[in-house]
Amino acid sequence: MNQNLNDIQLKVKEALIRASTVFSADKKSVLSRAIETEPSPNVRWVLETILENADTAEKTRRPTCDDTGIPHLFLEVGGQNSVTPDILRQIYQGVAEGMQELPCRPMAVKGSDVQRLEQSMGLFDDPAALVPAPIRIQLVEENVLRLHVLMQGGGPEIRGKTYRVFHQHKMSAILDEIVAWAIEGAGLLGCTPCTPAIGIGRTHYEAAALMLEAMIHGRFDQQNAIEQEITERLNQSNIGPLGLKGQTTALATFLRVGPQRASGVRIVCLRLCCCVEPRVASVLL
């Protein structure tokens, strides 16, 4: 194996651990601002505890959450870079090593199709037995080979939704639907404050892929008007951190709008990222 491929493995491993243990600076800032504005001592305590946990996780390189999630990989390729089978093998090897070193929760389910669905044969002990979701590769203008590693927990999957919206040629029709779904989900999520990640595309696959892009590129300190409106409307729901009421149901909203179909329908994918998400790290390979 040449040095370059070894480097890829190591970089991917470190990216997975960073995604699982580090809150971004913009996320910490928005949490700190929420603590200053919440009137309830209990709600402030919850937010302070979430921040303290983030600091502890970063210092100790321990996971922020015990549901360490399913690895999702998004690879950007541009310029003269290429993706070879060897590079993909090293990426997967880096993911496996990261899951073992962290360690991630060993939650790969054993057995045949039916046995896995019924979870009747138990789980593998090795965290690295967890197979990442299918990798997505995208051509970009930059001269880079850049990997984004996302760790997707189960709670947000339970409260997520990909469905059609009849837009009636009004953005407000789409927004109303998204906000209704988000309020319903946030009340049951438990791990609020959330960050809704939203993709709007032509198909369910495309909407889900755009939602992942929103998680990768979204910034807590850079919000467009639509994102701000969704966040504000969610925060008027009085669900609050851990569902204990309050003004901070959502910290921000991350939205990605893709190409649209000539039709009265839009496919919307909403994922209510929990308070430790988005768990994402990016690395140049």
Partner 1 sequence: MEKINIPIVDNLFPSLVIGTRILLFGKIFTGRDAVLPKLVALIENNKLDETGIDLKGAVIFHTAVSPAGVGPTSSNKYDIESTIPALSKAGVKIHLGKGRLSPETIRTLHEYHSIYAVIPPVTALLESKILERRVAAFPEEGMEAFHQLRVEGFPCIVAAAHGKSLYEEGSESP
> Residue 165 Cβ, how far from partner 1 at the closest point, in Å?
26
Examine residue 190 and tell whether it contacts partner 1 (CB under 8 A): yes
Examine residue 68 and tell whether it contacts partner 1 (CB under 8 A): yes
Examine residue 185 and tell whether it contacts partner 1 (CB under 8 A): no
Examine residue 240 and tell whether it contacts partner 1 (CB under 8 A): yes
Nearest to 73 by CA among 90, 95, 102, 96: 95
Taken in order 220, 225, 228, 234, the sign of the CA dihedral is negative
Choices 71-79, 103-111, 167-175, 263-271 (CB under 8 A): range interacting with partner 1: 103-111
Examine residue 161 and tell whether it contacts partner 1 (CB under 8 A): no
Among 245, 257, 258, 282, binds partner 1 (CB under 8 A): 245
Examine residue 141 and tell whether it contacts partner 1 (CB under 8 A): no
Nearest to 235 by CA among 249, 217, 245: 249
Among 133, 244, 265, 284, binds partner 1 (CB under 8 A): 244
> Residue 92 Cβ, how far from partner 1 at the closest point, in Å?
20
Examine residue 79 and tell whether it contacts partner 1 (CB under 8 A): no
Q: Say how far apart CA 12 and CA 1 lie, in whole Å.
A: 16
> Residue 155 Cβ, how far from partner 1 at the closest point, in Å?
6
Examine residue 50 and tell whether it contacts partner 1 (CB under 8 A): yes
Q: Say how far apart CA 207 and CA 269 lie, in whole Å.
A: 5
Interface residues toward partner 1, by CB under 8 A: 21, 40-43, 45-46, 49-50, 52-54, 56-57, 60, 62-68, 102-107, 119, 122-123, 125, 127, 154-155, 158, 187-191, 240, 242-246, 274-276
